[in-house]
Chains A and B, each alone.
Chain A
Amino acid sequence: MMDWFFVGMACLLAGAFLVPFVPAQRRPVAFTLVILLSAIAETLALAPVFSGGGTVSSIVPFGWPLGDAVLRIDRLSAFFLLVIAWLGLPALVVSGRFTRMDTVDGARIHWFFLGMLFLAMKLAIVLESLIHFLVVWEIMSLSSFFLVLMGNSLRRIRSAGLHYFVAMHISVVFLMLGAVVLGGGGFTNLHGTTGLSFLFLMTGFAFKMGLVPFHSWVPEAYPAASPHVSAIMSALMSKLGVYGMLRAVMAFGPSSEVAAWIVVAVGSISAVSGITFAVIRRDLKEILAYSSMENLGIITAGIGVMMLGSAYSNTFMLVAGIAAVLVHTICHSLYKIVLFTGAGLVEYAGAGRDLETLGGLARRMPRIAGTFFCMAWASASLPPFGGLISEILLVLGLVAGLTTGFPLVTTALVVILALVIMTGAVALLAWTRIWGIAFSGEPRSAGSAETDDRAVRGWAFLWIPVAVLLFMGLFPAVVFDLLLPFLDTLSLEMMPIDSGIGLWPLVRVSLPETLLSFSVPVIAFVAVIGFLLMVRAMLLRGRRVVAAATWACGWQKPDPSIQYTADSFSDPFVSVVRPVLHTEYEGEAVRGFFPESAGSNRQDDDPIRRKFVSRLGRLVDGVFARFAWIQSGNMQQYILYGLLWLSAMITWILVVA
């Protein structure tokens, strides 16, 4: 059945080369069809993975120098293959809006690189041999780099593209180092290898996911790319990092305690710092980028919980961790596909991206606003959406570890729990801020006042992810059942050898029962909302319902400028955490009885990106500057090099001969 996979790949390859030659207006539709067809083909290819032995493989002979490529689909690859094949579609449906208006993006080559990106993502998941994996990984990095670069030709975006290019290649260097230490081979025969290569591989994947402290490219690259590309990069490409981490963890077998603690700490710190940076920034897409970092942090924390479960032979923790990772991977892909597309539609409607210039979009762009609101609500992990389920699984996993008996372990777990919960609470601030400032109220600029979304085609498709998330939230037990084939394999692989298969058969029954009981109150929640709405409608029927201006403390003519701003909204929280942020402040105090001028300008920013990474950059610059004298631009000096070289050669020939 591997044939179907090759059909899908052929479809993608043909699409990448042919879509650029379709008439410009048809390209988005044609490309969406290509992705849809390949998704169907690849889904067909997965049938034996679920029915039969769990893996299908095939060997493509490449010969020298790379050797034969082994393609192998097991259930882990199948899961990620499904995510990448299907979840990007809603963004592609509306991508016509982003490519038609922008001449650079509308260019043929854009679709070629997008096709190559999909091709590389899917191959990376399926390739078994490390060396081929690295080649494909590089194709993925390069095609996404070109896509970022083509977002626009502005100078700022060039620098963002360069930043991304460098970050991705540091990631590749780490992956290569990992492969070198391992001495090649494939993912499934890494057993018994050193911790050093594990560290290298995990670092490489952490770069791709944008975890602390490797995230500096995230707020640069995502905002720079065009909206559907940002959506695909954030929702799908970053998941390759998750896949890689899971692969590495599985390959190295039952994990060590130290590694597990590092992963869980990096994950939860990424989550809490990502969402904090999302609260302090003003650019809509930058906020979404930081929110991606937060979500990937949560996923990493889930991987950490799973490793801890393995290290302490705690089956429940292990399974809850894996389930949290899988559920949150789906949830985050769904959020970000809709949110990045929504932000893009807002931007392309002429409103811009700065929160302080937005406002009142909900009335002007109702088609987009509906999905955006649902996703903002879901991103704060609130019921009745699916994000709550991954949060609950993660918390249950952490809590299950509390009773291990070691005080130090318990203390550490409680700290992690507090960080995860704090992430959720800050996310509430972040999402009410984004929704409330950008979509509610009155427009803060002429640009946002004139927006409308009547021209947007295919907006209805953005409701599909919302519906899926709602289903996941209402029926978590069904989701668990659907994930069982993946959970079966993963938990058996991760189980410590000495404890056998552990309590997996028990957890396999008890966990869905727990999730099933979550359905009752969540469904009741939706039902009660419906009931109250009905009561409200009945009460208001026939009564006087008046429209008037917002009450502004007796001021009869409210003006948009009196509204709360994004910065003032987050200030009570930001003023508490400001000591750890990077803050630029310039102000002029009020002096004298008749002050002539006064002002204040404060900009908070990500300290890691602004202090640590830029210092590191300067350091590297400084080191290389010491060698600058070699290339002085002085002709005499170059002639001298030539002479020295010649004389050295002559001496060598004379000595040898």
Chain B
Amino acid sequence: MEFFFAQILLLLTLPFLTLWIILRVKAFWASRRGPALFQPFFDIMRLLKKGAVYSTTTTTVFRLMPTVQLAAVMIAAALLPLPGRDHILSFDGDFVLFAYLLAASRFALVAAALETGSPFEGMGGSREASFAIFAEPAFFLLAGSMVLAGGGTQLAGMVSAFDGRTVLATLAVLSLFVMVLLEGARVPVDDPATHLELTMIHEAMILDHSGPDLAMLHYGAALKTVVVSALLVLVALPEGECTGWMRLLWTAAGTLVLAVLIGTLESFMARLRMTHVPQFVLLMFSISLVALVSVLLLP
């Protein structure tokens, strides 16, 4: 039980750290100083202290969806088996619920975006929903290959299915890295720093939100990046060597290292042309497929 609370606490604080590291790394490569450690936290707090502006076009759905989005990501975070097989929220088929919770957060975002009637938000919502179409089957292909490799049908076992099989683990990590970039709306799928509405995906969908709602959306998006990153790290971590508290700490450390990687990638790479994003997402599909075929061919 104490593991569970530690995991929740850890995952709920990591978004601030991750955001800070990404910003600092980007600042480093651009020879700037970058924000202070608590800046992302202050940003969220500032939004929480504000009132709100609602478009006259919107309805209750618009007010409800930010909470639904955040709640879905939070439950997905709770499903991650950070402490290993002792995780209390571990059961057969939990990976399906994990994927569908991420989908629920996506539905909530898109529905809220369309509420406003803004062309930019429609654009963002359309892209968000469309690109996921190729990512979701890719995630399940990967999950399928983990089941095949003898990981069982619980996330706790699946993440260590490729332990000791370097090639497979690498493929899985690569595939999940694309998922991190897609779900976290990072370069090269989306550019969180862009100020041109036509090129945005995630940022375009939250143009009309304000106050606590915007805080929840920003925090939810960061938490989603952390959740998928943590899943990637769990796949990379060998199960036998670290368990319990150590595993929890290693996951946190790995997530932060991944943040450095994302920041570096963002500093050296431009966002892809919008028409090329589906091809990039299909990359995840093909990597997962290769992983699956390798599991089949190399028993």
Contacts and interface: CB of A to CB of B under 8 A. Distances in A.
Given A399-B153, A532-B67, A550-B55, A424 B136 contact: yes
A61 interface: no
Contacts of A381: 100
- Most chain B CB within 10 A, of A377, A400, A573, is at A573
A359 B117 contact: yes
Contacts of B127: 572
Contacts of A362: 59, 61, 115
A422 B139 CA distance: 11
Given A363-B59, A525-B71, A568-B126, A425 B136 contact: yes
A553 B120 contact: yes
Contacts of A572: 126-127, 130-131, 274, 278
Contacts of B272: none
A424 B61 contact: no
Interface in A411-467: 411, 414, 417-419, 421-422, 424-426, 428-429, 431-433, 435-437, 440-442
A524 interface: yes
B231 interface: no
A155 interface: no
Given A382-B100, A429-B133, A518-B97, A564 B123 contact: yes
Nearest to A393: B93
Contacts of B113: 436
Interface in B107-159: 107, 110-111, 113-123, 125-127, 129-137, 139-141, 143-144, 147-148, 153
Interface stretch (B17-25, B162-170, B206-214, B221-229): B206-214
Contact of B51 (A382, A399, A545): A545
B71 A528 contact: yes
B184 to A, nearest CB: 18
A407 B50 CA distance: 58
Interface stretch (A207-215, A481-489, A535-543, A599-607): A535-543
A90 to B, nearest CB: 22
B117 A563 contact: yes
A1 interface: no
B56 interface: yes
Given A436-B125, A514-B92, A552-B118, A411 B216 contact: no
B107 A550 contact: no
B53 interface: yes
A75 to B, nearest CB: 26
Chain B contact residues, majority secondary structure: helix
B111 A366 contact: no
Given A425-B133, A436-B114, A569 B89 contact: no
Nearest to A418: B137
B75 interface: yes
Contacts of A524: 75, 78
B130 A392 contact: no
B54 interface: yes
A528 B100 contact: no
B51 A396 contact: no
A29 to B, nearest CB: 31
A67 interface: no
Given A440-B61, A553-B197, A569-B126, A382 B107 contact: yes
Contact of A440 (B92, B99, B111, B140): B111
B213 A521 contact: no
Nearest to B91: A517
Interface in B258-299: 274, 278, 292, 296-297
Nearest to A560: B117
Interface string A285-325: 00000000000000000000000000000000000000000
Interface in B78-115: 78-79, 89, 91-94, 96-97, 99-101, 103-104, 106-107, 110-111, 113-115
Contacts of A547: 53-56
Contact of A428 (B106, B114, B278): B106
A558 B126 contact: no
Contacts of B64: 529, 533
A441 B67 contact: no
A544 B51 contact: yes
B179 to A, nearest CB: 13
Contacts of A340: none
Given A441-B117, A532-B216, A550 B57 contact: yes
B296 to A, nearest CB: 5
A412 to B, nearest CB: 12
B89 A520 contact: yes
B74 interface: yes
A48 B74 CA distance: 47
B98 to A, nearest CB: 9
Interface string A368-387: 01000100010011110000
B52 interface: yes
A74 interface: no
A388 interface: yes
A436 B122 contact: yes
Nearest to B285: A418
Nearest to A363: B59
Interface in A25-53: none
B133 A550 contact: no
B100 A396 contact: no
B78 to A, nearest CB: 7
A55 interface: no
Contact of B96 (A377, A391, A414): A391
Given A421-B137, A569-B122, 15 more contacts: A414-B141, A417-B140, A418-B141, A424-B136, A429-B129, A437-B114, A442-B117, A518-B91, A521-B75, A532-B67, A539-B211, A548-B56, A558-B117, A564-B121, A576-B278
26 contacts: A360-B117, A400-B153, A407-B296, A411-B296, A421-B139, A421-B140, A425-B133, A425-B135, A432-B129, A436-B125, A441-B116, A441-B117, A441-B122, A517-B94, A535-B212, A536-B63, A536-B213, A540-B52, A540-B212, A546-B51, A549-B55, A549-B57, A550-B57, A550-B116, A564-B114, A568-B123
